[in-house]
């Protein structure tokens, strides 16, 4: 099952691409504005407006948090917190706010991407997609695959001669780019890797900017996605992906609500799932040639990843973050070995000179 497990892990990344690209308690910040110097608040307001890029997004951020969570976000003025006339701020509208807070992603001005994410939640238009299923791998395997996304994409490419891409864009490995090499591409932020400190690697929150070609439309937009996974008996992972997409206007909102559009989104997801089935079928038929011929997988770096992953497939424990810890330990050992080499060379030279 090892190569099926490795390749199948790409389904999750693919689902995230497919959907995103288709286009709580006390709040100590609630009274923050009272004690802030006016000039400081003006600078905060200007910086916030610059970060979001528009007055509309600033108002969406401030009004949504004030009405749904009774929170005055740092830098918001009174006018920014006025509700949008056409938005119905009911329980359904406020549900994602409470969902994010319960998962541990609260509206902390100091946390990365918080203004951008909560500004989207405050917009008028939303479309929600869900996709659920199972994958033939266990909890340790899925954690390894998410801990090394570029390696997972290269495995898929080796068997299908495709151009899947998953690459980190920041040293913290929370920002990454992705593409299926065809009609979907985007940039993502891995906002949460657990839920309020529980189930590391199995309760995830992503925020993404996506680009997609669907039917006659070329779409660009943003989405947040919850990915919840649970291990089942028999080395099976059950997953559910919920994506909330934010259309920019009423026309696009109507299009994305259409049954035919939803059907096309599901078709794109199924295409990726079928890629996985096809690749795994090639492997189990005894075809190892694609793996052996892949230049990417034969690199010194990937050979080590293959060896590490074999241990996980064969039962070794893995937690999200182990990849980085292991890399640091290996780097430290290499540096120690390099420091020892000059001493050995010097000793040999001394011996030679004495002779």
316: nearest Cα among 329, 325, 327, 307 = 307
Tell me which residues of the chain have a pLDDT lower than 50: 1-12, 19-34, 284, 343, 345-352, 354
- The answer to whether 71 touches 31, Cβ cutoff 8 Å, is no
Residues 6+ apart with CB under 8 A from 315: 140
DSSP string, 77-145: -TGGGSPPTT---SHHHHHHHHHHHHHT----TTSTTHHHHHHHHTSS--EEEEEEEEES--HHHHHHH
- The answer to whether 119 touches 57, Cβ cutoff 8 Å, is yes
145: nearest Cα among 20, 306, 329 = 306
Task: Please tell me the predicted confidence (pLDDT) of residue 35.
Answer: 55
Angle (CA) 255 249 241, round 5°:
60
Task: Please tell me the predicted confidence (pLDDT) of residue 348.
Answer: 44
- The answer to whether 19 touches 269, Cβ cutoff 8 Å, is yes
Instruction: Encode pLDDT of 141-197 as tens digits.
Output: 889 889 988 888 888 888 888 888 889 999 999 999 988 888 788 899 999 999 999
Task: Please tell me the predicted confidence (pLDDT) of residue 283.
Answer: 55
Task: Please tell me the predicted confidence (pLDDT) of residue 341.
Answer: 55
Angle (CA) 203 206 208, round 5°:
165
Q: What's this model's pTM, rounded to 2 decimal places?
A: 0.81
Task: Please tell me the predicted confidence (pLDDT) of residue 277.
Answer: 59
Task: Please tell me the predicted confidence (pLDDT) of residue 236.
Answer: 85
Residues 6+ apart with CB under 8 A from 298: 292
DSSP string, 41-90: HHHHHHHHHHHH-SHHHHHHHHHHHHHHH----TT--TGGGSPPTT---S
């Amino acid at each position: 099952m090892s190569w099926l497990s490795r390749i199948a892990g790409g389904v999750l990344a693919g689902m995230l691409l497919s959907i995103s690209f288709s286009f709580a308690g006390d709040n100590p910040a609630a009274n923050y504005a009272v004690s802030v110097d006016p000039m400081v608040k003006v600078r905060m307001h200007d910086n916030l407006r610059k970060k979001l890029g528009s007055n509309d997004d600033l108002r969406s951020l401030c009004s949504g948090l004030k009405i749904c969570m009774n929170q005055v976000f740092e830098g918001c003025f009174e006018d920014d917190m006025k509700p949008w006339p056409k938005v119905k701020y009911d329980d359904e509208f406020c549900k994602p706010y409470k969902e994010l807070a319960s998962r541990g992603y609260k509206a902390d001005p100091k946390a990365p991407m918080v203004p951008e994410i909560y500004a989207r939640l405050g917009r008028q238009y939303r479309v929600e997609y869900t996709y659920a299923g199972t994958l033939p791998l266990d909890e340790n395997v899925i954690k390894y695959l998410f801990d090394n996304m570029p390696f997972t994409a290269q495995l898929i490419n080796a068997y299908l001669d495709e151009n899947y891409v998953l690459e980190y864009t920041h040293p913290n490995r929370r920002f990454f780019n992705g593409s299926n090499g065809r009609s979907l591409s985007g940039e993502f932020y891995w906002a949460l890797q657990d839920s309020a400190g529980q189930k590391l690697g199995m309760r995830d929150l992503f925020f993404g900017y996506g680009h997609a070609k669907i039917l006659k439309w070329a779409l660009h937009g943003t989405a947040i996605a919850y990915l919840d996974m649970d291990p089942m008996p028999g080395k099976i992972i059950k997953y559910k992906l919920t994506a909330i997409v934010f259309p920019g206007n009423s026309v696009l909102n109507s299009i994305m609500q259409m049954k035919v559009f939803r059907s096309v989104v599901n078709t794109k997801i199924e295409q990726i799932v079928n890629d996985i089935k096809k690749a795994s079928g090639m492997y189990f038929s005894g075809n190892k040639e694609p793996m052996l011929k892949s230049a990417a997988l034969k690199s010194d770096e990937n050979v080590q990843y293959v060896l590490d992953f074999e241990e996980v497939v064969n039962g070794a424990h893995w937690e999200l973050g182990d990849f980085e810890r292991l890399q640091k330990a290996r780097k430290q050992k290499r540096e120690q070995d390099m420091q020892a080499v000059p001493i050995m060379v010097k000793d040999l030279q001394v011996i030679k000179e004495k002779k």
